[in-house]
């Protein structure tokens, strides 16, 4: 039933106060109050209007014209709300389409950037005792530790295209798809001599993983927690290992793991392009540049435009603009962002147990050390490193030609043996079939 309601207002302007009243036709007092408040918001600038109270007017009944106007206004208001709702829905749809297109373009840009820096992955690897670097000529350098297990004996390695470091051993992937290894082999992480057609390698504490060209995975070493149980993996495009856990990224962007606890966390992960794990965290890099995690470091979910991750004693996140975000653990063991721009112009990152490393496109290495104590906890000094990066294919081919030429010269020198003394001048005669004097040139 429609009723007449009177609204009493207080109006202020330029320090002057006025009182006024107005009426509306409404079904109840709440509806009338809503109408009056809308009228307050429609006053010209400079006016401050406040609704004091709303009361029902019993002095005059509602006329038919007023009822008709009320119904008209009600229908008009309903039509307006319906129109606005339709416009909002259309705008939301357009926004979703724009966001989808933007996200698609952004994902494509990030994908291209990841591909451009992918060749720098595996050029530096750092373990608890030592750090190893791959040079552009396919050789390898190593620093840190006391080389107790021979894990730094890599000076004679050649034609290496990727490296990986365990606690006390080092792996090197060669250009021909074979793998070399040095260091402690108590649990068998260096038993890789039979591996063939390998395209990527990873090292845990005491086990080694190799990704084959057909998408299968091989593993050797200490099988603690089943970290070497990878024979059933298929369609794998990337591998990762940390501690006694092994991870594989499938071609559909899902992740497999040898750890039942990790499998429970990653079962819902999609569009993953990289994964990093530790004893206290687990991170996945998505194709859109965002980070998913096990929830232990909540702040990383806010990061955007990430193209690479590396985690150890600290957490490093490489952004598409070449800057690096660093997280460290505080006194309460909680993680915090220690540096939003640790380095710039970086193409590769490695978080170590003693030192963090950043690789630039020109082959230089930047690094930051943690506080260290004792012989086994010294930072890994790479200040003398240069030309660190993926093996240059042209240089590799040139080296092969040079090596072949050296081998030919050595062979020729061995064959060009002394054939006695010249009977004319006493000089030394040399040759294959026709022997000549090296002094007078006469045939023997």
pLDDT digits (tens, 9 = 90+) for 38-71: 777 666 666 787 888 888 888 888 888 888 877 7
Residue 125's beta-bridge partner residues? 132
Q: Which of 80, 161, 66 is nearest to 120 (CA)?
A: 161
Look up residue 62 and give its two tokens: 């509602």
Residue 414 has pLDDT above 70, yes or no: no
B/e letters for 258-277, b = 16+ CB within 10 Å, e = fewer, are bbeebeebbeebeebbbbbb
Average of per-residue pLDDT across 346-368: 92
Considering the entire predicted model, what is its pTM? 0.69
Q: Which of 176, 175, 171, 167 is nearest to 153 (CA)?
A: 171
CB neighbour list of residue 182: distance below 8 Å, 6 or more residues apart: 150, 151, 152, 153, 154, 169, 170, 190
pLDDT digits (tens, 9 = 90+) for 124-183: 999 888 999 999 999 999 998 889 999 999 999 999 999 999 999 999 999 999 999 999
pLDDT at 443 (0 to 100): 67
CB-count burial class (<10 Å; 0-12, 13-18, 19+) for 370: middle
Q: How far apart are CA 254 and CA 339, in angstroms?
A: 31
The neighbour count for residue 90, using CB atoms within 10 Å, is 10
pLDDT digits (tens, 9 = 90+) for 246-281: 999 999 999 999 987 777 788 899 999 999 987 668
Residue 317's beta-bridge partner residues? 309, 325
Residue 193's beta-bridge partner residues? none
How far apart, in Å, do the first and last CA atoms of the chain sit? 136
Q: Are 274 and 238 in contact (CB under 8 A)?
A: yes
Q: Are 283 and 311 in contact (CB under 8 A)?
A: yes
Runs of H (alpha helix) within 5-49? 29-41
CB neighbour list of residue 181: distance below 8 Å, 6 or more residues apart: 169, 170, 171, 172, 189, 190, 191, 192, 208
């Amino acid at each position: 039933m429609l009723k007449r309601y009177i609204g009493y207002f207080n109006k202020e302007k330029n320090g002057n106060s006025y009182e006024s009243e107005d009426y509306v036709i409404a079904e109840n007092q709440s509806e009338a109050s809503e109408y009056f408040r809308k009228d307050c918001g429609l006053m010209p600038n400079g006016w401050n209007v406040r609704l004091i109270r709303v009361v029902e007017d019993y002095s005059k009944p509602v006329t038919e014209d007023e009822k008709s106007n009320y119904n008209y206004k009600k229908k008009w208001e309903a039509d307006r709300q319906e129109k606005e709702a339709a416009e909002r829905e259309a705008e939301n749809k357009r926004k979703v389409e724009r966001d989808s297109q933007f996200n698609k373009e952004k994902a494509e840009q990030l994908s291209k950037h990841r591909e451009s820096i992918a060749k720098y992955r595996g050029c530096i690897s750092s373990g608890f005792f030592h750090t190893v670097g791959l040079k552009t000529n396919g050789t390898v350098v190593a620093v840190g530790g006391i080389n107790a297990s021979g894990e730094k004996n890599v000076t004679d390695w050649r034609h290496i295209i990727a490296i990986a470091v365990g606690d006390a051993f080092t792996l090197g992937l060669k250009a021909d798809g074979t793998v070399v290894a040095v260091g402690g082999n108590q649990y068998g992480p260096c038993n890789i001599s039979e591996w063939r057609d390998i395209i990527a390698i990873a090292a845990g504490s005491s086990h080694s993983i190799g990704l084959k060209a057909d998408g299968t995975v091989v593993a050797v070493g200490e099988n603690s927690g089943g970290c070497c149980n990878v024979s059933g993996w298929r369609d794998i495009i990337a591998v990762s290992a940390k501690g006694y856990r092994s991870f594989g990224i499938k071609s559909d962007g899902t992740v497999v793991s040898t750890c039942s606890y990790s499998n429970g966390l990653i079962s819902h992960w999609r569009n993953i392009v990289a994964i990093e794990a530790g004893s206290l965290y687990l991170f996945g890099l998505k194709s859109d540049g965002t980070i998913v995690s096990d929830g232990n470091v909540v702040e990383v979910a806010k990061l955007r435009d990430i193209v690479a991750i590396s985690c150890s004693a600290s957490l490093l996140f490489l952004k598409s603009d070449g800057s690096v975000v660093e997280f460290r653990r505080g006194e309460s063991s909680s993680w915090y962002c220690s540096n939003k721009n640790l380095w710039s112009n970086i193409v590769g990152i490695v978080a170590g147990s003693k030192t963090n490393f950043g690789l630039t496109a020109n082959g230089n290495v930047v690094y930051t050390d943690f506080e260290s104590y004792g012989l086994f906890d010294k930072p890994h000094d790479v200040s003398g490193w240069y030309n660190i990066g993926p093996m240059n294919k042209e240089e590799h081919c040139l080296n092969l030609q040079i090596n072949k030429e050296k081998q030919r010269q050595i062979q020729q020198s061995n064959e060009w043996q002394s054939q006695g003394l010249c009977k004319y001048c006493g000089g030394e005669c040399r040759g294959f079939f026709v022997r000549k004097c090296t002094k007078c040139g006469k045939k023997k």
